[in-house]
Structure 1
Amino acid sequence: MNAVDAPAKTFAELGVPQPLVRVLATDGKTTAFPIQADTLADSLSGRDLLGRGRTGSGKTLAFAIPLVARLNDETSVTELAMQEFEQLRNIKDNDARRKAMLPHPRGLVLAPTRELVNQIDEVIRPLADAYGMSTATIYGGVKYSRQIAELRDGADIIVACPGRLEDLLRQNALSLESVEITVLDEADEMADMGFLPAVTRLLEQVDADGQRMLFSATLDHGVDKVVKRFLTDARVHAVDDADAQVDTMTHHVFAVSQGNKHEVIRELASGKGKRILFTRTKFQAKNMAKKLVDQGIPAVDLQGNLNQNQRDRNLAAFSSGEVRVLVATDVAARGIDVSDVEMVVQTEPPEDPKSFLHRSGRTARAGEKGDVVTLVLPNQERGTRSMMRRAGIQVRCETITPNSPVLEELVGEHAPLVHGWTLSVPVTNPSAGRSRRRKGSGSYGKNAGGQYRKTSGAERKRSAEGLKSRDDRAAGGKVGKYDNRKSTASTEQRREGKRSQQWSDWNTDSHGSRDSRDSRGENGRGGRRSAAGFRSSRSGKRAAAPFRAGR
């Protein structure tokens, strides 16, 4: 009997520490999925391991539990702080001391997309909280300063995209030399996205004697080389093949005409359950979501032209159930772990079997049922049949119209239309660069009593106007017609000078110096000033545990 056929074991029976068992039980998790039951004995003992399984099989919890449990077992936070204080006190070389004062996280999880980073963090954070440990997320699209602040507040575990993590390392914002446990999640996707060289450079910087866990659906595109180089005597756990079909997933291939395709999509989107509609381009995703909203079906899009706040907001609206329809490009094919998605609609057949399987994997997760619908035009039928055959899926193509009984049966009861709908979810993901600043806009200034209070934008404008009027009175209190003409001429001269400077900057940028200037401005001098400011402002905190505070 293998791990898949064996009766489900509880987390307590698998040796998970009681504080984590209680956290999991609070979230309704008491028994382990096959990949969790299969890997926990080795991962909790500190073995390197390679986990292979299809998407939605529970891999995140399979590495999150041993990551937190083993970091807590190494030593207590107090003991660690005392050890680091003694080490720092004995360092005489200034350069070595500065390096030692950098944040030194002890756990690292690498993932290919910001959505996946956030969702991994949401799984790890409650477990880490049970032991008083903290986490930080690192990915592009948000300000460096917010992520650097999280690191300096003492993050024990960081969940990161390789590119932004390398950026922060180049800024000397942290060190990886104390990382004891490293996890690579969706390693095959990182290979597909060209991240393996960065992943290799990052693995070269972590503790060479630390534990490594790699989770991947496949071992192609160079992932096998990473396994051979960085995993030592790794245990391999494969609970199923990457292309294994999910028993609770039902596939449908519908042939439609160009003229009735959108009506079929609208019908598929009109049901009561959650569904994800995949498009090939960002433009299609944006337009399709807008068109559905105009027709009374609340929908949000998820695509690369959205900024991070917009992506977090739209995903939060879908996760919470405020909207039932998410229209997405392949940016969402990995990294979205939303429960109760009852249907995935591929409005365009994907280009390869791997994309097809990962799109499909957004439904029928964790044993739940789900349908996958692939729409094809007449000229796409042959290619789609070949692609699905390579994906290990056999299903008959059926020609339908918006009124076909098979479509009505699949969609079920329609949700009420909501005309004039607008998204009301505020913002956003709390892990997207969690800032310790006070909420709201405005700045702080002293009132008449010498106390600090917050000032609004209108108050600052009135204050500026008052200063201007005082300056005018000091200059004689008179601004005549000639003075106005002179002022206007000066303004035009300034504008012309600014245009000349912009033209000069453009010429300079065209010769390749723009990136270096930007990096000096955002990542260089500003980063050093921020670091200096942190060390002085945290001096009181460092008195209790000097080295620990820097981590």
Structure 2
Amino acid sequence: MKEVNKVEFEDLGISENGLNAVRRKGFEKPTEIQREIIPRFFEGEKDMVGQAQTGSGKTAAFALPILDLVDERSKDVQAIVITPTRELALQVKDEIESLRGGKKVHVLAVYGGQPIFPQIERLRKGVQIVVGTPGRVIDHLERRTLSLEKVRFFVLDEADRMLDMGFIDDIERILRHAGAERRVLMFSATMPPEVLRLARRYMRDYEVVRVHSKITPENVEHRCLKVNPEKRFEHLCRILDENNFYGIVFCQTKKETRELGRRLRARGYKADALNGDIPQHKRESILRNFRKGYTRVLVATDVAARGIDVKDLTHVVNYSIPQDPEAYIHRTGRTGREGKRGKAITFVAPWESRKLKIIERTAKVRFR
């Protein structure tokens, strides 16, 4: 049995396709929840309740085994992931897609606030994995545009948060639609009685896997800067000028990364942009220059920067406030590593104070 800190992804039972996807993303070592969940997933038949904080790597913990086990030749929905918010649904969908490697697995996010008919058309063509919010999933079930009869894997992500938001009846309703052979995985940051009650009611033989790792590095200083969006660029340049800056600037969209990268280079900064549209060979070149310090400022989207492990980063700047606390934790976890100190600076528009409070509460950070 290997020492915990020496366990590699190769030791967890993941296929070569999955391992290649992990390497491409730059993941170096499995997180604690990945070490605990992935082997159990492959070795046993039990349902699982995983207690893991936001930002602990739990999406990959269930996505990698599911991607290995779904049949890409079948058009049936074989796995469903229920999330409390559409932002998280999109994030989980993007993460699963980034881990599928060469496997032709179709992943669809279904959530309210967008037209339902394109989703219906996509489901009709065949989707192996659905990620969705409770309301929209129920809508599809009632329209009979989504069938869960062939679902083998049923994942409830952030179960405690869904219960807090009043989704308990919706979750039970969805679970009743799933076929008898499904395997249920529930992830929750906390373990209130309601979560365990749900497990007892809808899981067969299950085990609880608890992980108590600190979710945000203690040596990161968290600051927020309340600023109108049109003034952000000048504030960013001031931060770059006043510090020996070596870090990542996070944007919400691919377009924003391109524009900001271009503006910074025009000002003379050693900056580059990284987003999902960039081909693999170009991405590797950008990361190589960044790791060597030739590039000092990397402008990136969440998905592009997921798994980037570069030593000695001094700063993370949230040019756009993250949509979800999990994204904040992933972003700021890029700095303050291996005992080094780091700074995380978040630009906040005057109307975004509520988002900041949610991040502060969920990620357990205090902003200066």
| TM-score normalised by L of structure 1 | 0.46
**How many residue pairs align between the two structures?**
290
Q: Name the structure 2 match of 1:379.
A: none
Q: 1:208, 1:185 → 2: CA distance? A: 20
- Give the letter aligned to residue 105 of structure 1: V
Q: What residue number does 1:356 align with?
A: 360
User: What is the match of residue 53 of structure 1?
Assistant: 52
The verdict on how the C-alpha distance between 1:316 and 1:232 changes in structure 2, with shifts beyond 3 A counting, is farther
Q: Is the 8 A contact 2:154 2:185 kept in 1?
A: yes
**What is the CA distance between 1:28 and its match in structure 2?**
2.0
- Structure 2 unaligned spans of 5+: 238-250, 261-273, 276-298, 302-316, 336-342
The offset of 1:162, in angstroms, is 1.0
Query: Per-residue CA shift, 1:387-420, capped at 9, x if unaligned?
Result: xxxxxxxxxxxxxxxxxxxxxxxxxxxxxxxxxx
The answer to whether residue 28 in structure 2 is matched with residue 24 in structure 1 is no
Out of 42, 45, 48, the position equivalent to 1:44 is 42
Residue deviations 1:14-40, cap 9 Å, x none?
A: 111122112212222353111111111
Aligned twin of 2:206 = 234
- For 2:229, the equivalent position in structure 1 comes to 290
Deviation at 1:156, TM superposition (A): 0.5
CA shift in 2, pair 1:231/1:8, >3 Å: farther
1:8 aligns with 2:6: yes
Change (3 A) 1:33 1:214: same
Decide whether the 8 Å contact of 2:318 with 2:345 is kept in 1: no
Structure 2 length as normaliser, TM-score? 0.67
Considering only CA atoms, is the larger Rg found in Structure 1 or Structure 2?
A: 1
Taking a change above 3 Å as real, the CA distance of residues 197 and 311 of structure 1, as seen in their structure-2 partners, is farther
Deviations 1:330-371 (A, max 9, x none): x533455447475165989989x98634244xxxxxxxxxxx
In 1, the alpha carbon distance for the partners of 2:231 and 2:193 equals 38
Change (3 A) 1:245 1:350: farther
Which deviates further from its counterpart, 103-112 or 315-324? Answer: 315-324
Q: Give me the CA root mean square deviation.
A: 3.7
Matched letter for residue 139 of structure 2: D
Aligned match of 1:410: none
- The change in CA–CA distance for 1:313 and 1:163 in structure 2 (over 3 A counts) is farther
> Following TM superposition, by how much is the alpha carbon of 1:373 offset from its aligned partner in structure 2, in angstroms?
4.4
Matched, 1:190 2:162: yes
Is 2:104 the counterpart of 1:132? yes
User: 8 Å contact 1:128–1:134 — kept in the other structure?
Assistant: no
Report how far residue 294 of structure 1 moved.
8.2
Written as runs of structure 1 = structure 2, the 5 A alignment for 1:412-423 is none
Letter of the 1:108 counterpart: I
Distance 2:76 2:170 in 1: 19
Report the more deviating stretch, 191-200 or 310-319: 310-319
**Aligned ranges 1:263-274 → 2 under 5 Å:** 269=225
Q: Is the 8 A contact 1:162 1:198 kept in 2?
A: yes
Structure 2 CA distance, aligned partners of 1:246 and 1:205? 37
Alignment partner, residue 374 of structure 1: 367
Distance in 1, matches of 2:362 and 2:148, equals 31
Kept in 1, the 8 Å contact 2:216–2:363? The answer is no
Is 2:168 the counterpart of 1:202? no
User: 2:88 aligned to 94, 112, 116, which one?
Assistant: 116
- Aligned partners of 1:104 and 1:174 also within 8 Å: no
Q: Does the aligned pair in 2 maintain the 1:109–1:183 contact within 8 Å?
A: yes
Instruction: Note the alpha carbon deviations across 1:316-339, whole angstroms, 9 max, x for none.
Output: 78985269434548x533455447
| % identity of equivalent residues | 26
Per the alignment, residue 223 of structure 1 pairs with: 195
| Alignment-derived partner of residue 325 in structure 1 | 318
The aligned counterpart of 2:125 is 153
Q: 1:245 to 1:115 in 2, by over 3 A?
A: closer
2:5 is aligned with what amino acid?
P
1:168 corresponds to which residue? Answer: 140
Q: 8 Å contact 1:8–1:33 — kept in the other structure?
A: no
Separation in structure 1 between the aligned mates of residue 191 and residue 358 of structure 2, nearest angstrom = 13
Whichever residue aligns with residue 119 of structure 1, its letter is: Q
- Opposite residue 324 of structure 2, the aligned amino acid is A
SS in 1 for 2:155: strand
User: CA, structure 1 residues 222+7, in 2 after alignment: closer, same or farther (shift >3 Å)?
Assistant: same
